[in-house]
Amino acid sequence: MNSEISIKMARCKGCGICVAFCPKQVLALDALGKVQVANPEACIGCGMCEMRCPDYAIFVDKIEKAVAK
């Protein structure tokens, strides 16, 4: 199962909480101090960033892979 991270940039105040709690260093702060998805392939879909974001700016959607038969 893969995950897709969506960020509502207008809501992000650049606190860095999501970056600090991500166990796989998927997120980083950009030059403007806003969150960005820096390493999407490392995301395990744990949702820690979404749960910890005080501004409800991050959403983690789990995507199921189609299994070839």
Can you list the domains of the chain with their CATH numbers?
2-63 (3.30.70.20)
pLDDT digit string (tens) for 29-61?
999 999 999 999 999 999 999 999 999 999 999
The DSSP code sequence of 2-36 is EEEEEE-TTT-----HHHHH-TT--EEE-TTS-EE
What is the pTM assigned to this prediction?
Answer: 0.83
